[in-house]
Amino acid sequence: MGKLLKADYVFKNGKVITVNSNDDVVSAVAILDNKIIYVGNDVEAEEYIGENTKVYDLKNKTLTPGFIDSHQHTAHTAAWKNMFYNLDPSFAPNKEKMFEIIKRAVKETPPGKWILFWGYDEMRMEEGEAPTSKELDEIAPDNPLLIGRFCGHVGSFNSKALEIGNININTAKDFVEGQVAINDGQLTGQLYETAYYHMWNFADIDVDKLIRALGIESGEILKYGVTTTHDAGSYGATTYYAYNQAIKNKSYKLRVAPMFFNLLGKENVIRDIKRYIDVGIGCLGNERLKYGIMKIMIDGSSSSPSCAVSIPYCHDNGTGILSMLPEEVEEVALVIHKAGLQAAAHCIGDRAAEIWITAIEKAQKAFPREDSRHRIEHCGMANSDQIKRIKDLGMIPTPNTRFLYLNGERYFKFFGERANSLFPCKSWVDAGVKAAIGTDGPIVSSNPLLGLSSAIDRRTSVGNPIGPEQNITILEAIRMYTYNGAYATFEEDIKGSIEVGKLADLAVFNGDILESTASELEKIDCLLTMVDGEVVYHK
């Protein structure tokens, strides 16, 4: 009966990586409406070709499931590219160039209005230091400035901005020690973690501009064969509204799972989570826009560094910053878990991971649940004991393999030999943990082939190996970027692999992904991306 159906699309004569339970590689796929109706060989695929069927001869090119970026700040990436001034070191390699960009922005902006910048990295600037509030005050006395570091955990502000945010010597104590930088009794203008995120409450994010930016950015991401992103947090309610509108007006063609998050401390976290629970937010959404993940922040970044570690950094005696205390984390975890929702926590350092794993263990003991799939975002430094407990709890880590290339050299400086075990993908595979790869965009490109490259051949930007014993196979890496991503949002039954009955989300590439070296992978281009049975990108 099924063979009487005529497909809308047939892809044949290709190398189709199914990511099914057997990791089968076949040659043909047929699509009808928004579903896959056939997966197999070219001969049988011919029976699905009708008068109106669009046939693609892949000529041995690779077809994969649509890639799922399991940790990306999609809305923030859209805003940064289309709404902020760019201070990436390629544009601002030193303070002189940085200040030229800021001066131009001040001239273009009415007095009193916020000016937003993004992307500086003092470690790649000639001076090796971030701008101070004193320096910024000389350039912009009348406009509040928010200057975000590329990592998303640190920012520099002028006095006008700090005044609006009510951050001063007296209020600095309201934040965790170290989050408000002070030197010789004066604020430097640098804010970290919760203090930094606090300032986003006051910055102007134009929702109409964000809606347009989301449409533009979705088009850019689709060029890489990505069909779903898990937005790990951007601008709160403004983000959720913008997604709704961009999907409604059909400018945003990706699928997305925005995480609900609040970075402003335990009391605000508990308040907002209870609000979400009261309105049944975990049940809202659909295959395009799926809500339900509740995210908190526990530590900082690996590139500053400010992640919470049990052994001090190698370049100084620091052990990182905690955004929440262990008992606060446990309270939040219990509220989310008891409500039957999915919890996620940003944990890069092993000390942060220990706090989160312990919190989930206690929540599970108090209120036993099956298949909760709580997430541990990044999970950069999990030790062998933690990996076992993560497996036992059914937790999902979201490693960022491309960080090894971007930050690898500084990782050796910060962590010494520990750098070799960062983002331990082989350990995840061996333990049977369903790790799901994410880019953490805008920190790195949305191109999944870069993440695959760094998963199968771990090297720094200058080519030095970084923990090669943690290399995984290309099929293992693809699974982490497809099926496991779907699993991370309870959607493995509808997407994440090329199987009959699943949603027609797929991508076609102009090279042989399975046989390519890591460096060759990075040169392969996406030729076509399909979402929900619609070709949304074609090169």
pLDDT of residue 410: 96
What are 441-477's pLDDT values in tens digits? Answer: 999 999 999 999 999 999 999 999 999 999 999 999 9
pLDDT of residue 274: 83
Token pair 């047929």 in the structure block, residue? 30
pLDDT at 309: 98
Q: What is the DSSP string of 169-190?
A: TTTGGGS-TTSEEEETTEEEEE
- CA dist 387 → 177, 341, 427 (Å): 30, 22, 8
Q: Is 52 exposed, middle or buried (0-12, 13-18, 19+ CB in 10 A)?
A: exposed
Residue 118's pLDDT is 94
pLDDT, residue 3, reads 53
The pLDDT value recorded for residue 266 is 67
The Cβ of residue 518 has, within 10 Å, a number of other Cβ atoms equal to 19
Question: How many C-beta neighbours within 10 Å does residue 169 have?
Answer: 11
92-112 pLDDT per residue, tens: 999 999 999 999 999 999 999
The one-letter amino acid at 258: P
According to DSSP, the residues that pair with 537 across neighbouring strands are 529
**Whole-number pLDDT of residue 1:** 44
Spatial distance between the Cα atoms of 429 and 439, rounded to a whole number of angstroms: 19
Give the model's pLDDT for residue 329: 95
Q: What is the DSSP letter of 416?
A: G
In angstroms, rounded to a whole number, what is the distance separating the alpha carbons of residues 88 and 95?
Answer: 12
Instruction: Name all domains of the chain by residue range, CATH numbers in brackets.
Output: 84-199 (3.10.310.70)
The DSSP call for residue 259 is P
Assess contact for 320 and 213: CB atoms under 8 A.
no
- The reported pLDDT for the residue numbered 265 is 61
- What are the 10-residue block averages of pLDDT along the chain, 539 residues in total? 80 99 99 98 97 98 99 95 95 97 97 96 94 97 96 94 96 87 94 89 92 98 99 89 96 96 71 82 84 92 94 96 92 94 96 99 98 98 98 99 98 98 99 99 96 99 98 99 99 99 99 98 99 98
Beta bridge partners of 538: 528
- pLDDT value for 12: 99
Q: What is the pLDDT, as a whole number, of residue 194?
A: 84
The H or E element spanning position 113 is: none
- For residue 535, give the 3-state DSSP assignment: strand
Q: What is the pLDDT of residue 234?
A: 84
pLDDT of residue 263: 64
pTM of the model: 0.94
